[in-house]
Amino acid sequence: IFRDYISGFPKETDMILSTTGTISLKVPEGSDSILLKNLYLSCDPYMRARMTISDSYLPEFVPGSPISGFAVSEVLDSGNPNFKKGDYVWGFSGWEQYSLIDNPDPSSLIKIDYTDVSLSYFTGILGMPGLTAYAGFNKLASPKKGESVYVSAASGAVGQLVGQFAKLMGCYVVGSAGSKEKVDLLKNKFGFDDAFNYKEESDLTAALKRYFPKGIDIYFENVGGKMLEAVLQNMAVHGRITVCGMISQYNLEKPEGVHNLTQLVLKRVRMEGLNVSDHYHLYPEFMELMKQYFMDEKLVYVEDMVEGLENAPAALIGLFTGQNIGKQVVKVSHE
Ligand code: NDP
């Protein structure tokens, strides 16, 4: 349950675990609702914005009500013609064991018909973060073979896939992350050409110069702040920046200003914001591509799974201190 609006870093106590009495595992007679058993919950950085009254693109959480977010769920009962008992779906649900969804929208609660991988993948690589990587890199950034790509927060849900897409496209890819373990993953598991721990670099501009002596053609922005300023100094002429997120700013009372924007003019750089919800029409083509990649064993995926709804608050806030190694998922129930 969401306690109340916050400022600064979220805390575990901003969420309350609550147990209700016995519930009916049937939808109300004559209703068009569906009853979901939630299996996996997705922890996503955008959820922080919903803990504050802001002009974010999703409504704020309601104090005293369950947190909502992306999940993978099983339909236990349905009064709706678009869903039937036994279907698996991914999309918006509640942070609870069972959710009753009134008038579910089939475009935002998507049926899962690919079962060659764990269902939990639909919170990450085959769900919203996966589509974010695809739309933000393959489409918005217009990548070409041989280009130099830099990804920040590179070992996370979105970043690990962006790096692999870039390698599959024949690009040179460098990622940054906040620990040695994550840097090792980037280099030895995800196949990045190089990687560094940004926390160990006192001069980020100089660090990027080392990895990109001829400049960065594509920057996949997940972090913002000082990282973006350093990147701007290192962009190549006609470079592209996909602004996917700026997690370093989400908990600040006042977001930092950004220097070096004149580099956009000097280098004729295109900088474009991304909202994955504009790109759901790409989901079918994305899935076809992903199925082929999985069949050809061209992708690897790392998720960080905790078990139990009671551990969801800690998992969510851990995103903002980099505790997660890979996609952060909470397993709520057995399939
Ligand atoms: P991740 O799995 O990458 O988890 C977040 C990671 O961010 C942490 O593990 C941490 O990694 C890093 N981080 C946290 N705080 C900071 C900080 N102050 N400075 C630098 N890095 C920090 O999350 P996602 O892959 O789900 O999301 C990545 C980005 O994509 C976020 O900015 C998110 O908001 C954005 N996003 C945007 C979407 C859109 O539609 N525009 C959709 C989905 C995601 P480390 O240890 O490496 O620091």
The pLDDT of residue 55: 81
274-292 as b/e: b if 16+ CB within 10 A: bebeebeebbeebbeebee
Closest residue to atom 15 of ligand 1, CA basis: 320
Say what the ipTM of the complex is: 0.99
**Where do the domains of the chain lie?**
12-123+302-331, 128-277
Closest residue to atom 5 of ligand 1, CA basis: 319
Sites in the chain below the pLDDT cut of 70: none
Using the atom order of ligand 1, give the atom closest to the CA of residue 274: 41
> Model-level pTM greater than 0.90?
yes
Using the atom order of ligand 1, give the atom closest to the CA of residue 132: 42
Please give the distance, rounded to the nearest whole angstrom, from the Cα atom of residue 244 to the centre of ligand 1: 9
Third-level CATH fold of 128-277: Rossmann fold (3.40.50)
Using the atom order of ligand 1, give the atom closest to the CA of residue 245: 32
Question: Residue 261 CA to chain centroid, in angstroms?
Answer: 26
The pLDDT of residue 22: 86
| Ligand 1 binding site (Cβ under 6 Å of any ligand atom) | 44-46, 129, 132, 153, 155-159, 177-179, 182, 222-223, 244-245, 247-248, 274-276, 319-320, 322, 324, 327
Residue type, 288: E
Please give the distance, rounded to the nearest whole angstrom, from the Cα atom of residue 188 to the centre of ligand 1: 21
The pLDDT of residue 30: 93
The pLDDT of residue 278: 97
Using the atom order of ligand 1, give the atom closest to the CA of residue 326: 2
The pLDDT of residue 323: 98
Closest residue to atom 11 of ligand 1, CA basis: 322
Using the atom order of ligand 1, give the atom closest to the CA of residue 251: 18
The C-alpha R_g of the chain, in whole angstroms, comes to 20
The pLDDT of residue 107: 83
**In angstroms, rounded to a whole number, what is the distance separating the alpha carbons of residues 247 and 322?**
10
Please give the distance, rounded to the nearest whole angstrom, from the Cα atom of residue 157 to the centre of ligand 1: 8
The pLDDT of residue 148: 98
Q: In sequence order, which residues have a C-beta less than 8 Å from that of residue 119 and are 6 or more positions away?
A: 39, 40, 72, 88, 112, 335
Which parts of the chain are beta strand (E)? 34-42, 68-78, 88-94, 98-101, 109-111, 148-151, 172-177, 194-197, 216-221, 235-243, 270-273, 303-307, 327-331
- Is CATH 3.50.50.60 the right assignment for the domain spanning 12-123+302-331? no
Residue 258, SS3?
A: coil
The pLDDT of residue 129: 98
Q: For residue 135, what is the DSSP state?
A: I
